[in-house]
Chains A and B, each alone.
Chain A
Amino acid sequence: MAEANKAALITDASHPAAEAIALKLEKEGIVVIKNYPYMPSKADKDFSFDTSSLQEMKNLIDAIVAAKYNLNFLIHTDNAIMRSNIEDISEQLFKEVMDYNAKSAFITSKVFGEYIAQNSGGSIVYLSTIHDEKPTGCAFAYSVAKGAVKMLCKELALFYGRKGIRVNLVEADYMLEQKKLLDSFLSPFNYDAETKIPLRRLVTAEDIAGVVSFLISEEAAFVNGETIRVDGGHLLYYGDR
Chain B
Amino acid sequence: MTNRLYGKVALITGGGKGIGAGISKALAAEGAKVVFNYNSNPSMAEKTMADIKEAGGEAFTMYTDVADRAQVDAMIAKTVELYGGIDILVNNAAWQPNMDIDEYTEDDYERIMEINLGGYFRCIQAALPYLKQSSCPRIINISSIHGIRPGDFDVCYSMTKGGIKMLTREAALEFAKYGITVNEILPGGIKIEFKSGQTHPFKRKHIDRPRKYDLSFIKPGMPEDVANVVVFLAMSSSQHINGASIIVDGGAVLL
Q: Could you tell me which A residues sit within 8 Å of B by CB distance? A: 53-54, 85-87, 89, 91, 94-95, 98, 102-103, 106-107, 109-110, 113-114, 131-137, 140, 143-152, 154-159, 186-187, 225
Contact flags B62-84 to A (C-beta < 8 A → 1, else 0): 00000001000000000000000
Q: Mind listing 29 A-B residue pairs with CB under 8 Å? A: A85-B174, A86-B121, A86-B125, A86-B128, A86-B170, A89-B125, A94-B121, A102-B113, A103-B109, A110-B102, A133-B166, A135-B173, A140-B167, A140-B171, A143-B166, A143-B169, A144-B117, A144-B170, A147-B147, A147-B164, A147-B165, A147-B167, A148-B117, A151-B158, A151-B162, A155-B152, A155-B159, A159-B100, A159-B101
Q: Which residues of A contact B91 (CB under 8 A)?
A: none
Q: Could you tell me which B residues sit within 8 Å of A by CB distance? A: 69, 100-102, 104, 106, 109, 113, 117-118, 121-122, 124-125, 128, 146-152, 155-156, 158-167, 169-175, 243
Q: Which residues of B contact A159 (CB under 8 A)?
A: 100-101, 152, 155
Report the nearest A residue to B167, measured CB to CB.
A144
Are A54 and B174 CB-contacts (below 8 A) given A87-B125, A151-B150, A159-B101?
no
Q: Which residues of B contact A151 (CB under 8 A)?
A: 146-148, 150, 158-159, 161-163
Report the nearest B residue to A187, measured CB to CB.
B173
The CA-CA distance from A114 to B100 in the complex, in Å, is 12
Report the nearest A residue to B120, measured CB to CB.
A144
Q: Which residues of A contact B160 (CB under 8 A)?
A: 148
Please give the distance in Å from B204's CB to the nearest CB on chain A: 14
Q: Which residues of A contact B169 (CB under 8 A)?
A: 134-135, 143
Are A87 and B163 CB-contacts (below 8 A) given A157-B150, A158-B150?
no
Report the nearest B residue to A184, measured CB to CB.
B173
Q: Which residues of A contact B170 (CB under 8 A)?
A: 86, 135-137, 140, 143-144
Are A135 and B125 CB-contacts (below 8 A) given A110-B102, A158-B150?
no
Q: Which residues of B contact A53 (CB under 8 A)?
A: 106
Q: Which residues of A contact B163 (CB under 8 A)?
A: 102, 144-145, 147-148, 151
A110 and B101 contact, CB distance less than 8 A? yes
Which residue in A131, A146, A155 is a CB contact (below 8 Å) of B158?
A155
